[in-house]
Amino acid sequence: DAKTTQPNSMESNEEEPVHLPCNHSTISGTDYIHWYRQLPSQGPEYVIHGLTSNVNNRMASLAIAEDRKSSTLILHRATLRDAAVYYCILRDGDFGNEKLTFGTGTRLTIIP
């Protein structure tokens, strides 16, 4: 599996935007970039995914660099409920049933 690199932890103030970076310099052409998060004492939860173009959904936005070697998950207005560990994961788009390989992720703390 291609590797991703994320900061161990980040802090943000409530109601401000949060930009969570992910580096994936060895990404292959068929790898999709997925983001999951894990709230305290819960199972992981899908956030968003993309291939080349930026993506938006009700939870977040995903900005993908033109060379695809990095991406940024954007929470537009962080709430206390967004405090979680965020995982950036690469998955081969040709095998949609492929397992998820979790790293250590970024622990996001929201300051009231």
Partner 1 sequence: EPEVTQTPSHQVTQMGQEVILRCVPISNHLYFYWYRQILGQKVEFLVSFYNNEISEKSEIFDDQFSVERPDGSNFTLKIRSTKLEDSAMYFCASSDLRGYSYEQYFGPGTRLTVT
Q: Does 100 bind partner 1 (CB under 8 A)?
A: yes
Q: Judged by CB under 8 A, which of 34, 73, 83, 84 binds partner 1?
A: 34
Total residues contacting partner 1 by CB under 8 A comes to 21
Find, among 77, 80, 82, the residue nearest to 111 by Cα.
Answer: 80
DSSP secondary structure letter of residue 5: B
Among the residues of 39-78, which ranges form H helices?
A: none
Q: Does 91 bind partner 1 (CB under 8 A)?
A: yes
Name which of residues 38 to 77 contact partner 1 (CB under 8 A). 38, 42-46, 49
Q: Give the C-alpha separation, 19 to 63, whole Å.
A: 10
Of 16 and 45, CB closest to partner 1:
45
By the 10 Å C-beta count (0-12 exposed, 13-18 middle, 19+ buried), 92 is classed as middle
* Contacts with partner 1, residue ranges (CB under 8 A): 32, 34, 38, 42-46, 49, 87, 91, 93, 96-104
